[in-house]
Chain A
Amino acid sequence: MNIDSLVVISWLLATVLLSWILPKKWQIPSGIVSTVAFLAYFDFLSALILISFAWLAYFLPKTFSLKLNILFLCIMIIVLVFTGFKLGNTYDAEFMIPLGLSFYSFRVIHYLIEGYKEKLPQHTFLDVLAYLFFLPTLIVGPINRFMQFKRDIEIRSFAEVNLSYSFERILYGYTKIIVLGNYLISHKLSLYLLEIEQSSPWLYSYLHSVQYWLNLYFQFSGYADIAIGFSALMGFKIMENFHYPFLAVNISAFWLRWHISLSSWIKDYIYAPLAASTRNRFLSLFIAMIAFGLWHELSINYILFGIYHALGITVWHQFQNIKRHNRRLQILFDMKIFVLFSWFLTINFVMMSFEIRSFILHFFGF
């Protein structure tokens, strides 16, 4: 399965088409059926898990009324399933995660917590199914929120102006994945790297990190563009996932621009409750960033990734505190040359975070 395969593109287009041409009462159910069929075709296990999660999220709290212990039980079941598959993937590279698990697990937890807080609008099981079985965002996010989705179900209407915007986003998405990510970064840059591997090992290592990060950005933001484009074609407004992260001039700003749907999820459901209960924002930040790392993979590598970024953000915040009380530092660091230096430092700090494991292996031997 690949996002640029003809089958996937046709499936997405057929889902869009059905969501408009069918009678109104069948438009939303058609999207659910199409997504279930898609999952059943590509990853039957994932279809079963998602159906179970949907049932768990909607009916279990309704049956027992959503008290804190029921909420905790539901979240624990989801986290255990999520952790089990992630561990399987960590220890066996051949072991595949059920399609889209990392994204829909977090959507279900969001739905449960907001339900517990009584912040969800009136809705039916069909709305929950439509939210969880929404094909454009199912595979690689963004982790959109239920409230906006429910609003869009009610107000969606076909508008010609959406067509050009949607197709443009989809076109940009495919350009990022195929032309920039696959061809230029993965293929062409790899050829150049092979040439310089022997002659300039340091430049090779540095460019290898640049290549990894750029490829990750183009692939991931390309997927987000395609998801947002197809969602807009179906009349749904989905939150942005990337906002020019390579323009960030500090590490804190970077995390407001990179994988926004996940970082805002972590902020709302891990960082904020922890900070409120412990009154210790640095501890909360470290736990939140480690959780962020572990979302990618349950491994030492990504725990270190989380700690590394938490340290970066902490240092930056401490520096801001010092700067706030020092007028000379403020003038100095507001100069354009320092902004440029700050940008360079941020980008390199981020790129190096993906190499943290090999760095530790190389220098400390563990």
Chain B
Amino acid sequence: MYPFLLKFVRPSWAKLLIALWYAALMFAILLTSNHAGKGDFLYLHL
């Protein structure tokens, strides 16, 4: 992701954007992690 961002912004901005992106993903995971999924079959039946 870092090399891709470097095509558009300076290195410091690229690092900041990546940090924000990771933080947003982690926040989304924390926010939604109480919903049980339907992925159990992957390790119950395979």
Contacts and interface: CB of A to CB of B under 8 A. Distances in A.
A219 B25 CA distance: 16
A139 B40 CA distance: 12
B29 A219 contact: no
A181 interface: yes
Dominant SS at the A interface? helix
B22 A179 contact: no
B39 A175 contact: no
A103 B42 CA distance: 11
B16 interface: no
A101 to B, nearest CB: 8
Given A97-B44, A102-B46, A179-B29, A219 B1 contact: no
Contact of A219 (B33, B35, B39, B44): B39
B29 A99 contact: no
A133 interface: no
A171 B22 CA distance: 8
25 contacts: A3-B39, A97-B44, A97-B46, A99-B43, A100-B43, A102-B46, A139-B43, A171-B25, A174-B29, A175-B25, A175-B29, A179-B25, A179-B28, A179-B29, A179-B32, A181-B37, A181-B38, A182-B36, A182-B39, A186-B36, A186-B37, A186-B38, A215-B39, A222-B39, A296-B46
A172 to B, nearest CB: 8
A268 interface: no
Nearest to A140: B42
Interface of A: 1-4, 89, 96-97, 99-103, 139-140, 164, 168, 171-172, 174-175, 177-179, 181-183, 186-187, 215, 219-220, 222-223, 296-297
B28 to A, nearest CB: 5
B45 interface: yes
Nearest to A175: B25
A89 B45 contact: yes
Chain B interface size, as a band, is 20 to 34
Contact of B28 (A103, A175, A186): A175
Nearest to B44: A96
B46 A182 contact: no
A177 B25 CA distance: 12
Contacts of B28: 175, 179
B46 A140 contact: yes
A223 B36 contact: no
Contacts of B44: 96-97
Nearest to A2: B40
A175 B40 CA distance: 16
Given A97-B44, A102-B46, A297-B45, A168 B1 contact: yes
Contacts of A222: 39
A182 B1 contact: no
Contacts of B2: 164
